[in-house]
């Protein structure tokens, strides 16, 4: 009840919940919400049992494209996406990184072909028990997922 | 697409009509051994006309002596013909032509393309878009698989085996693509590595992680001295000025090691000294006459290995 008072309900659209508070404005940036004309509700520093302090983004009348959910999976992999129809959650979409990410990440290697010629970036997602790395398909450099530069 | 991913490695798609060689990791252990066996055949009989009627383009966007000359000699000895350039300034790239356009244009004329390019990943990209096979002759600091195969051939010839050897890698282990590729290729053969480099040029962590994942033993040191006395192979490298973004860093480390003849006094009898060449100051000329110096013969081996690569790439099309 208290939560509903803090964050307005959404009739149709997408809710991104459980965003770590320090990542909220990065989410705003990578989804280009600053130039989005849909109704948007932002809330931050809300109490969260799971992560302590969280942010929420509600975007009316908009579904996220695959490359947008991939971007979210890179910066806040534990966030949750809820699809809302007529005030009801009709789908909970987990954020899962695919085996390969195209275009949305810039290679950190300045001498990589993708930073010097019109070539779409492609990264393999390498996961082990401790870390997730991205490996550039072209120059083969690896970078920790926390250090990637999102376009 | 040139291939798919399995366990983080790029696996070539065998349904493709082309058969590019971009990275040493494109070849399995069996394929590597097959190339080395084929190279021995070409050493015994260099003049085999397996490329009769074929046109090979050699596109060298970056200077090269040994690699270009040995590839071109290999083509000629195999009965093929050569087109291409050895200086990007004489190609349309100097007018702003993209690599995409150059590859599409050249593939109209040639049956295969041997390419060296200063940008890392250029060879993988070229292999994706080219209708004819690409042989990577070096892409920036990334991969140089034909050098790796000739290194393996030289090790096999001098040691009689590739298994269970101790290999000492010296010099620029940070930017040196030959040592990275050699490390990955030798992972099939249970090696022990000794990494000798100044702190500024030490082996990158990702390759040490690779060693740990593959149960490869290694040690690290900043001193050359006689640190290689238990080694079977001493692999010296040049500190490459062209790889440094910070020239001050280059000046600090350019003359860090010089191997002298007297330092070899207590080395193993079977030790052989390899170097991808060109050398500058890292091997004193007084080593050249030592029977353990193998770097010029190593360069000669490049001819036979490149004959084997060209034959595999073109005959399997």
pLDDT of A94: 85
Domains along the sequence of chain B with CATH? 3-143+300-315 (3.40.50.1370), 146-298 (3.40.50.1370)
pLDDT higher than threshold 50 for residue B4: no
Q: Which residues of B263-294 are buried (b: 16+ CB within 10 A; e: fewer)?
A: bbeebeeebbbbbbbebeebbeeebeeeebbb
Length of chain B, please?
317
Q: Which residues of B232-261 are buried (b: 16+ CB within 10 A; e: fewer)?
A: bbbbbbbbbeebbeeeeebeebbebbebeb
- The model's pLDDT over B270-308, given as tens digits with 9 standing for 90+, comes to 999 999 998 989 999 999 999 999 999 999 999 999 999
Q: Which residues of chain B are within 8 Å of residue A118 when distances are taken between CB atoms?
A: 98, 100
pLDDT of A7: 59
Min CA distance, A75 vs chain B (Å)? 21
Higher pLDDT, B226 or B171: B171
Min CA distance, B165 vs chain A (Å)? 27
Average pLDDT for residues A100-120, to the nearest whole number? 94
- Residue among B296, B25, B299 at smallest CA distance from B186: B25
**Where does A2-94 sit in CATH, by number?**
3.30.70.140
pLDDT higher than threshold 80 for residue A1: no
Give the number of other CB atoms < 10 A from CB of residue A62.
18
pLDDT of B95: 80
Cα–Cα distance between B24 and B124 in angstroms, integer? 12
pLDDT of B317: 55
Estimate the crossing angle of helix B66-77 against helix B295-315, to 10 degrees. 50
Query: Hey, is A123 helix, strand or coil?
Result: strand
A100-150: which CATH topology? SH3 type barrels. (2.30.30)
Average pLDDT for residues B115-132, to the nearest whole number? 96
Q: Where are the domains of chain A?
A: 2-94, 100-150
Q: Indicate the residue of B125, B141, B206 with minimum beta-carbon distance to A138.
A: B125
Active site residue B67: yes
Kindly provide the ipTM of the predicted complex, given to two decimals. Answer: 0.84
User: Are the beta carbons of B119 and A136 separated by less than 8 Å?
Assistant: no
Q: Of all residues in chain B, what percent carry a pLDDT higher than 90? A: 75
Active-site option among B12, B18, B116, B312? B116
Q: Indicate the residue of A111, A116, A138 with minimum beta-carbon distance to B124.
A: A138
- The residue whose two tokens read 């990578």 is A30
The Cα-based distances of B225 to A93, B132, B219, B266 in angstroms read 60, 48, 15, 11
């Amino acid at each position: 009840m208290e939560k509903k008072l803090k964050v307005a309900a959404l009739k149709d659209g997408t809710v991104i919940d459980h965003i770590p508070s320090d990542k909220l404005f990065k989410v705003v940036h990578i989804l280009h919400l600053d130039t989005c004309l849909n109704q948007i509700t932002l809330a931050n520093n809300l109490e969260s049992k799971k992560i302590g302090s969280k942010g929420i983004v509600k975007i009316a009348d908009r579904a996220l494209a695959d490359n947008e959910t991939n971007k979210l999976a890179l910066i806040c992999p534990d966030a949750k996406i809820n699809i809302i129809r007529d005030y009801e959650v009709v789908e909970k979409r987990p954020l899962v990184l695919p085996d390969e990410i195209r275009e949305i990440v810039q290679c950190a290697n300045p001498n990589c072909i993708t930073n010097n010629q019109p070539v779409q970036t492609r990264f393999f997602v390498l996961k082990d028990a401790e870390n997730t790395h991205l490996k550039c398909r072209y120059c083969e450099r690896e970078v920790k997922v926390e250090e990637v530069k999102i376009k | 697409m040139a291939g798919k991913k399995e366990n983080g490695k790029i696996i070539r798609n065998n349904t493709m009509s082309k058969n590019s060689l971009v990275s040493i990791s494109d070849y399995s252990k069996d394929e590597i051994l097959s190339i080395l066996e084929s190279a021995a055949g070409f050493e015994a009989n260099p003049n085999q006309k397996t490329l009769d009627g074929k046109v090979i383009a050699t596109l060298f966007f970056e200077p090269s002596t040994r690699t270009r000359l040995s590839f071109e000699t290999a083509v000629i000895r195999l009965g093929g013909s050569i087109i291409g350039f050895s200086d990007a300034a004489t190609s349309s790239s100097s007018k702003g032509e993209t690599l995409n356009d150059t590859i599409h244009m050249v593939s109209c004329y040639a049956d295969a393309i041997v390419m060296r390019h200063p940008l890392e990943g250029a060879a993988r990209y070229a292999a994706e878009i080219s209708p004819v096979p690409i042989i990577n002759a070096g892409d920036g600091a990334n991969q140089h698989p034909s050098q790796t195969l000739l290194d393996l051939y030289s090790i096999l010839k001098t040691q009689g085996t590739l298994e269970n050897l101790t290999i000492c890698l010296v010099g620029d282990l940070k930017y040196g693509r030959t040592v990275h590729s050699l490390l990955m290729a030798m992972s099939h053969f249970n090696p022990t590595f000794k990494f000798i480099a100044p702190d500024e040029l030490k082996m990158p962590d990702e390759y040490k992680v690779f060693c740990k994942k593959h149960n490869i033993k290694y040690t690290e040191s900043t001193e050359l001295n006689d640190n290689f006395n238990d080694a079977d192979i001493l692999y010296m490298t040049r500190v490459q000025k062209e790889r440094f973004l910070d020239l001050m860093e280059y000046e600090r480390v350019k003359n860090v090691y010089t191997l002298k003849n007297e330092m070899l006094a207590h080395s193993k009898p079977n030790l052989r000294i390899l170097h991808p060449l060109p050398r500058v100051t890292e091997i004193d000329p007084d080593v050249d006459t030592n029977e353990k110096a193998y770097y010029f013969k190593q360069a000669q081996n490049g001819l036979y290995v490149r004959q084997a690569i060209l034959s595999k790439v073109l005959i399997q099309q």
